[in-house]
Structure 1
């Protein structure tokens, strides 16, 4: 096992999205899941949420996926030491609030920025995951975004995956984290993390 740990590969993940859409709470829930014995990162409600401080970035998670160990380095948009556009992420996660349509509309600009800053050559494309947050707030109303619409937007934005979850209740956190981990692991392979057929 020690040899496996020495062979860890680091994957940098940048979390982009409008202020207040739930990015920090999502990362806090991952940390809470990690810190409690018996819980995997992101598995349900793993303990009380502790506020994360921008100065602590990157937020680091060790994971084992497909029989290999990886270090996932998460950066939130508000990194204090450098503007996020100067980072060199391996994966970008575009986050929005399921109960706030304005944050969904903002994803188009975030996606354009991703292409602008991280796509340096023709045909080169960074894996992008679209992540719906605050699933616990989904109810009836004109501002609520349902999965069918989210998948359609993910296709329009040429995202590789779509996932959604609630960091407050823990609902689908494990699945969302697994989707991110899977794409992160794929970036270390020859085929890379892009999907051929759009979001899955």
Structure 2
């Protein structure tokens, strides 16, 4: 019997952005329409078995609630998570979690880093037409790309991609664990990145710019 190659994956991000819900969705699949199961933190890492190119892999997901201090883990892939429904959580990727990544996971400069936007269902259809609402007149600097948007309670796709690029992350993707929207594509891309870490080329992007998954 051929054994599976174990690949540890760590999810970082603010509490409440949807990391646990995302992992719950992975456990039942993107087509599941019933309530999502509640995963126990004590059961981390959560295993997901996949087969890719006739090879078996065991993806082992942990997050910041791991029973083992997450700063002591040695992931092969790091996923920086934020909530599309909360612009602050995207800012915190730059202001806090990037520093955590550089401080505790600098033992391997080839670790691929993915930015994952969760709670994609928070956006409405008009938010995908490529236009960003203009900053409110009260803003001090209307040319500031980080200026607060008038009435904004979400993160626009182009904003998040810009931030991911500024942080020199390898890839950007997003999904809704609640509805299952794009979850299949996200897990396929995560799995492809994880599998690539077992090759000589590694899982980092060859593109100088952040790739959209």
Task: Name the TM tier (shorter chain).
Answer: 0.7 to 0.9
Matched position secondary structure for 1:106: helix
Correspondent of 1:98 among 75, 80, 84: 84
Say if 1:150 and 1:44 are closer, same or farther in 2 by CA, change over 3 A: farther
Q: Secondary structure at the match of 1:183?
A: helix
Deviation, structure 1 residue 179: 1.2
Could you tell me how far 1:149 is from its partner in structure 2?
Answer: 1.0
Could you say which residue in structure 1 is the equivalent of 2:105? 118
How far apart, CA to CA, are the structure 2 residues paired with 1:8 and 1:145? 38
Q: Which residue number corresponds to residue 22 of structure 1?
A: 18
Q: Deviations over 1:60-110 (max 9, x none)?
A: 000012332100000011112x21010010000000000101111111121
Show the counterpart of 1:180. 190
Give me the TM-score of the superposition, normalised by structure 2. 0.82
Matches within 5 A, 1:70-149: 70-80=57-67, 82-108=68-94, 109-120=96-107, 124-139=109-124, 141-149=151-159
In 1: Cα distance, 2:185 partner to 2:73 partner: 26
* Aligned residue pair count: 184
RMSD: 1.5
Instruction: Please tell me whether residue 166 in structure 1 is matched to residue 176 in structure 2.
Output: yes
For the residues of structure 1 that align with 2:117 and 2:196, how far apart are their CA atoms? 22
Q: Pick one of 204, 207, 211 that aligns with 1:194.
A: 204
Distance 1:138 1:166 in 2: 10
Cα drift, residue 46 of structure 1: 5.7
Structure 1, unmatched stretches of 5+, are 34-42
**Residue 47 of structure 1: how far off its partner (Å):** 4.2
Which of 36, 39, 45 pairs up with 2:32? 45
Q: Identify the range of structure 1 (154-163 vs 132-141) with the bigger mean alpha-carbon deviation.
A: 132-141
The normalised TM-score by structure 1 is: 0.87
Structure 2, unaligned stretches of length 5 or more? 128-150
State the shift of 1:162 in Å: 0.5
After the TM superposition, list the runs of 4 or more consecutive aligned residues in structure 1 that deviate by more than 6 angstroms: none
**Distance in 1, Cα, partners of 2:164 & 2:28:** 28
Task: Report which of the two structures shows the higher radius of gyration computed on alpha carbons.
Answer: 2
